[in-house]
Amino acid sequence: AQRVTQPEKLLSVFKGAPVELKCNYSYSGSPELFWYVQYSRQRLQLLLRHISRESIKGFTADLNKGETSFHLKKPFAQEEDSAMYYCALEYGNKLVFGAGTILRVKS
Amino acid sequence: DAGVIQSPRHEVTEMGQEVTLRCKPISGHNSLFWYRQTMMRGLELLIYFNNNVPIDDSGMPEDRFSAKMPNASFSTLKIQPSEPRDSAVYFCASSFGTSGPYNEQFFGPGTRLTVL
């Protein structure tokens, strides 16, 4: 069955420290993976998709098929990065979301 | 475009009452999704429609939940009778086109439901 696992409910880091939000998936096909973000009092929105291989707001995510992972990384966290982050797997026009990780960046 | 519109934004009701949540997708989008968000389970897909037709309702918890999409610009999610365990934030999302790596779902602001 399709599944997305985000093992950390809460990740707390200091401003300027590196950030890595973990995401592992279970899927027998070729995965389409995304990261969505929900800032305080804002809507859930797409942050990045693996196919684009781009950096958004300093975040990158690399698909590792061997480890079935799609971790989200940023070298230097900023306070405005504080939000809820969801990893998502798409199949058949549906998204399966992980449980989400709250990122708190402390000053 | 105002994006996906949901109403009400907050709903407080008593156990046993009927609750109806409403959603207006982005104009031109042909897929609509209903999600439930809880602290314990995160975001769960309840049902999704394509071209107003329900495609997958396997996430609907039980017969107390029902969803309709009478036309391309309106959908409802109904809970009857409601129970305290239904308390959650319910999101509606819409997208254009079918599956693929460039597919993007656009979310509404959510309806926070509290069942006492």
- pLDDT per residue over A79-94, tens digit each? 999 999 999 998 877 8
Q: Which residue of B has its CA nearest to A50?
A: B101
Residues making up chain A, counted from first to last: 107
Instruction: Name the percent of chain B lying above pLDDT 70.
Output: 96
Highest mean pLDDT among A77-81, A91-95, B38-42: A77-81
Report the half-sphere exposure of A22 (CA within 13 A, side-chain side): 10
Among B3, B35, B99, beta carbon nearest to A93: B99
| Cβ-defined contact of B101 to A32 (cutoff 8 Å) | yes
Q: In this structure, are residues B20 and B11 in contact, taking their beta carbons and an 8 Å threshold?
A: no
Q: Flag if B42 and A99 touch (Cβ within 8 Å).
A: yes
Which of B41, B45, B100 lies at the smallest CB-CB distance from A94?
Answer: B45
Question: What's the pLDDT score for residue B102?
Answer: 73
In a mutagenesis test of the A interface, which of B34, B35, B43 is the best target, namely the one with the most A β-carbons within 10 Å?
Answer: B43
Lowest mean pLDDT among A59-63, A72-76, B21-25, B96-100: B96-100
Amino acid at B49: F
Which pLDDT tens digit goes with each residue over A27-76? 988 889 999 999 998 999 999 988 877 888 999 999 999 999 999 999 99
Asked whether the beta carbons of residue B102 and residue A49 sit closer than 8 angstroms, the reply is: yes
Q: Fill in the DSSP letter of residue A30.
A: -
| Element spanning B20, H or E | strand B19-24
Closest alpha carbon within chain A to B58: A94
Closest partner residue to B99 (CB to CB) among A92, A96, A100 is A92
Query: What residue type is A105 in one-letter code?
Result: V
CB < 8 Å & 24+ apart, contacts of B22-27 = B22/B74, B22/B75, B22/B76, B23/B74, B23/B75, B23/B76, B23/B77, B23/B92, B23/B108, B24/B73, B24/B74, B24/B75, B25/B72, B25/B73, B25/B75, B25/B92, B25/B94, B26/B1, B26/B94, B26/B96, B26/B106, B27/B1, B27/B73
- Whether residue B43 and residue A92 make contact (CB cut-off 8 A), yes or no, is no
Q: Which residues of A touch B107 (CB under 8 A)?
A: 43-45
